[in-house]
Amino acid sequence: MNASPIKVLVIDDEPPIRKLLRMGLSTQGYDIIEASNGKLALERLAEEPALIILDLGLPDIQGHDLLQMIRARNDSVPIVVLSSRGDEAGKVQALDLGADDYLTKPFGMDELLARLRAALRHQLQVHGERPVFKTGELSVDLVRRIVKVGEREVKLSPKEYDLLRVLVQHAGKVLTHRFLLKELWDELTDAQYLRVYVRQLRQKIELDPERPQFVLTETGIGYRLRAPD
């Protein structure tokens, strides 16, 4: 017997975008629910979607306000935001308000599908955190606090390990500078401290720190750890 399809709520006021998403996602077995505005989107939450795609430019409710409303009703459903190119401040705000990821219009369907899979994997990870995380050659044993690249054990400072642990716990998700600073230092607000530790961590776990494969930079926004295998 086949598992029931994953229900995706698409919130976008542009009919061509909704049609594109409906066609692209349906072919991958997703069950699509559509909402053309914020009011309808809030009503559709009753259908318990497993994932939400949210366009920030809606006609009736400001996208960030709607995001907060959705999070007030459901604090765990993965939300992937669609935003206009170059709107870094809007992306950062959306991520800080609880979005799991973002895509910039125009976007490719393959990239969208990859981001949706990563958001769903991240949700599973949060609810049942695996003791050993693996992505490519990198493995992190969260119980024994052992980090390896291939067969080589990597020695990290306490703060470097804390940074990696937070990235692992949210692997595949974009973490803003502000979120990471708050998680790691409480009072610090200068992203330069964070950049120093990211650079040190990359020196130890990346084969080529100048072209990282694991700790990826989201320019002007933050960092993302490559999703687990």
- Encode pLDDT of 146-203 as tens digits: 999 999 999 999 999 999 999 998 888 899 999 999 998 877 778 888 999 999 999 9
How far apart, in whole angstroms, are the C-alpha atoms of residue 70 and residue 76?
10
Q: How confident is the model at residue 129 (pLDDT cuts 50, 70, 90)?
A: low
Residue of 97, 22, 89, 90 lying closest to 58 (CA atoms) = 90
Who has greater pLDDT, 73 or 119?
Answer: 73
On whether the pTM is more than 0.85, the answer is no
- Cβ pair 126, 173 in contact under 8 A: no
How far apart, in whole angstroms, are the C-alpha atoms of residue 57 and residue 126?
29
Beta-carbon-side half-sphere exposure of residue 224 (alpha carbons within 13 Å): 19
pLDDT at 185 (0 to 100)? 86
Q: What is the pLDDT averaged over residues 34-38? A: 96
105: left (phi over 0), alpha (psi -120 to 50) or beta: beta
pLDDT at 1 (0 to 100)? 32
- Cβ pair 63, 35 in contact under 8 A: no
- As a whole number of Å, the end-to-end CA separation of the chain is 26
- Cβ pair 228, 135 in contact under 8 A: yes
Question: pLDDT, tens digit, for every residue of 214-227?
Answer: 999 999 899 999 98
How far apart, in whole angstroms, are the C-alpha atoms of residue 135 and residue 28?
24
Question: pLDDT, tens digit, for every residue of 37-91?
Answer: 999 999 999 999 989 999 998 999 999 999 999 999 998 899 999 887 667 888 8
Report CA-CA distances (Å) from 128 to 132, 133, 165.
Answer: 12, 12, 15
pLDDT at 23 (0 to 100)? 93
Q: Compute CA 210 distance to the chain's CA centroid, rounded to the nearest angstrom.
A: 23
Q: Which residues have a Cβ under 8 Å from the Cβ of 143 and sit 6 or more positions away?
A: 131, 132
- Cβ pair 94, 56 in contact under 8 A: yes
How far apart, in whole angstroms, are the C-alpha atoms of residue 115 and residue 59?
26
Strands 215-218 and 222-225: antiparallel
Q: Which helix (H) or strand (E) holds 38?
A: helix 38-44
pLDDT at 6 (0 to 100)? 85
pLDDT at 226 (0 to 100)? 93
Helix 63-73 to helix 88-96 angle (10° resolution) is 10
Helix 158-169 to helix 191-205 angle (10° resolution) is 90
Out of 18-22, 56-60, 85-89, 114-118, pick the least confident: 85-89
pLDDT at 130 (0 to 100)? 63
pLDDT of 4 higher than 70: no
How far apart, in whole angstroms, are the C-alpha atoms of residue 226 and residue 215?
7
Q: What is the pLDDT averaged over residues 96-103? A: 90
Who has greater pLDDT, 126 or 166?
Answer: 166
